[in-house]
Amino acid sequence: MKRSLGYIKALVLVAIVCLLYGFAEKRHKSRGISEVKVEFTDSENLYVTEEVVNKLLIQNKASVSSIDKETLDLNRVEYLLNEHQMIENAEVYLTLDGKLEAIVSQRKPIGRVVGNSSFYLDKNGEIMPLSQFYSARVPLMFGFDGENVTKAYSIINYIKEDEFLKKHIIGINRQKGNKYSLELREQDFELYFGDSSNVALKFNNFKAFYKKAQKENKIDTYKKVNLQFGDQVVCTKK
């Protein structure tokens, strides 16, 4: 009898604990979001603002407090953020104290197409729209459109990764047959690159030529520098 009574007490205790836990969990979920926090992994250049991200996070509700945790769909919020044209990746989560937080990585442009239609080429070789909030300082690309811009990706991406080239090259022009010439910041000679093959070799040759010509005070004597042959630099004097 005493053993049966002990079992009954234990079952009642478990039931009470489960009831209290369920009540607390329901109350916790029904509470509104106390705060929205947005963190950008790259905070220098904001192609999308915190305000824009906030609106996506709260799913166009009038205020954060009007959303309860049970109603909030984190998967949908993440999806909306990741579908934004300026966002590369977003992770969204709720903290124990009721904060809705998002870690946002923006897309990174490496070149800007200028022409009838203007857009960026991003670090992944994909087309990226211009931002109304920030204009990237990247090489300008002339003579390109959405169909042929990716063919120059290897050239633009190599420039982005090299400090010397980023300092000196400000533009790329597309010519017939997907051949390219480059514009320099400080020099007025034409830098003919040719096609997009042997990118590393051509740029290494150019850097060696540039430093040698500058050291010998001959850099201003050329009107054209041709890199298309890969294994040599062919120069035409003024």
What CATH number is attached to the domain comprising 45? 3.10.20.310
- Kindly tell me if the per-residue pLDDT of 20 is higher than 70: no
pLDDT at residue 180, as a whole number:
97
Mean pLDDT of 182-193: 93
Does residue 53 lie within any of the structural domains? Answer: yes
Of the candidates 56, 71, 106, which is a domain's last residue?
106
Q: For residues 18 and 218, give the distance between their C-alpha atoms in angstroms, rounded to a whole number.
A: 85
What is the greatest pairwise CA distance in the chain? 112
Signed CA dihedral, 219, 223, 228, 233: sign only: negative
What CATH number is attached to the domain comprising 148? 3.40.50
**Number of folded domains that form the chain:** 2
* List of E strands, 20-86: 35-40
Pick the most confident of 10-24, 36-50, 217-231.
217-231
For 111, other C-beta atoms within 10 Å of its C-beta total: 27
Of the candidates 106, 123, 141, which is a domain's last residue?
106
Residues forming a β-bridge with 166: none
pLDDT at residue 86, as a whole number:
93
Instruction: Judge if 77 and 146 occupy the same domain.
Output: no
Does residue 228 lie within any of the structural domains? Answer: yes
Does residue 178 lie within any of the structural domains? Answer: yes
Q: pLDDT tens digits, residue range 104-129?
A: 999 999 999 998 889 999 999 999 99
Mean pLDDT of 83-110: 87
Instruction: Judge if 214 and 134 occupy the same domain.
Output: yes
- What is the residue range of 81's domain? 32-106
Q: For residues 168 and 184, give the distance between their C-alpha atoms in angstroms, rounded to a whole number.
A: 5
- DSSP, collapsed to helix, strand or coil, labels residue 15 as helix
